[in-house]
Amino acid sequence: MPPAPASPAPAPVPAAPALVVAGAVMLGSSAVLVALSQANASTAAFHRCFLAALVLLPLALVEIRRRGRPRAAVLGLAAGGGVFLGLDFMMWAQSVLDTGAAVSTLLISTQVFVFPGLLWLLHRDRPSRQFVLALPVMLAGLVLAAGVLGADPFAVDPLRGGVLGVLAGVCYGVYLYGNHRCRAVDGRFIAVPVAVATSTAALTVLVLGSAAGTLSVIPAAESVGWLVALAVFGQVLPWLLLSAAATGVRPEVSASLMLLQPASALLLGVVLAGEQPTFAQLAGMALVALSVWWVSGGRRLAQRWSARRG
């Protein structure tokens, strides 16, 4: 098997922003699928990763046969990121059960600070002025959506769910950083980093869930279909898309586009799970959506469209 080249560069991805949007929307369905599965946090997190790994590992082997061995740094970054991904999934799944699909998905959007922040601190990759200016608005939106001024009356434990959701977002941001660095270090691989991270996440949840006595390795029969859907639409497809787009979008723009997750989670939560977000929570989500639109260049696109129309 041929060794990896000294300095592989990722190929340009013209459709990278569209891939990020598609991946974010799919990830937004995860919260509703967790709720519909009626599995506890550890069980949902484990099967999300374990079932996804069964699909991703063969894809990774095919990729290695075609493109040679991945660099050790890629495997290390992916495995380290997978530990944080496992922690993220466990805390976030509990947040879904405590606060509801839409709010929990928005709470993990604290990654919008962590991911670009790590690149700034560790690699001097300074975020854009637009992103810095939009941060206070995003933060205000997150606070409102978290239910500070009123939460869904059917939420089980909004406070615990809120804390776990924010901590999950920090872990999520660390994973996004690792995924981004995998593509920057060796741009030939898309499936390999996702497969390694997902497998490591499954092991992390297996160890922690077993130690806590909360993990059911064999899920209830009525949960299986939802857990399979969670693995496919909440892990395999979105993370392959996001891995492919990792170096084709500025980090702060990518992190902002990922905030589209809550929008799809909100719609699905209301339609499929009967959730009832308050007006303040809806206003918070609107603030986040407007911030994403601005940071990702929506204003410039609108101006160009208006100029063409004129």
Q: pLDDT (tens digit, 9 = 90+) per residue, 125-150?
A: 887 787 788 888 877 877 776 666 66
Tokens of 173: 């941001």
Residue type, position 173, single letter: G
Q: CA angle at residue 69 from 66 to 72, to 5 degrees?
A: 150
Residue type, position 155, single letter: A
Q: Which residue has the higher pLDDT, 176 or 305?
A: 176
Alpha-carbon distance 93 to 112, whole Å?
A: 19
- Total count of residues recorded for the chain: 310
Can you tell me which residue has the tokens 């009967």?
274
Alpha-carbon distance 11 to 262, whole Å?
A: 30
Which of these, 103, 111, 84, lies nearest to 32 by C-alpha position?
A: 103
Give the range with max mean pLDDT: 20-24, 119-123, 246-250.
119-123
DSSP label at residue 188: T
Give the range with max mean pLDDT: 131-135, 181-185, 243-247.
181-185
Alpha-carbon distance 90 to 201, whole Å?
A: 10
Mean pLDDT of 176-187: 88
How high is the pLDDT of residue 76?
96
Alpha-carbon distance 110 to 233, whole Å?
A: 22
CB 103 within 8 A of CB 147: yes
Residue type, position 283, single letter: A
Predicted TM-score (pTM) of the model is 0.79
How high is the pLDDT of residue 247?
61
CB 295 within 8 A of CB 130: yes
Residue type, position 192, single letter: V
How high is the pLDDT of residue 100?
75
Which of these, 108, 129, 118, 116, lies nearest to 297 by C-alpha position?
A: 129
H helix and E strand count, the chain: 14, 0
Alpha-carbon distance 262 to 281, whole Å?
A: 11
Can you tell me which residue has the tokens 């990774």?
60
How high is the pLDDT of residue 297?
62
Distances from the Cα of 103 to the Cα of 39, 139, 271, angstroms? 19, 14, 15
Confidence check: pLDDT of 224 > 80: yes
Q: Which residue has the higher pLDDT, 212 or 148?
A: 212
Confidence check: pLDDT of 234 > 50: yes
Q: pLDDT (tens digit, 9 = 90+) per residue, 258-309?
A: 767 776 777 777 777 676 777 887 787 788 777 767 776 655 544 554 455 5
The confidence band for 226, taking pLDDT boundaries of 50, 70 and 90, is: very high
Exposure letters 179-191 (e unless 16+ CB within 10 A, then b): bbbbbbbbbbbbb
The DSSP secondary structure of 116-183, one letter per residue, reads HHHHHHHH--PPPHHHHHHHHHHHHHHHHHTTTT---TT-S-HHHHHHHHHHHHHHHHHHHHHHHHHH
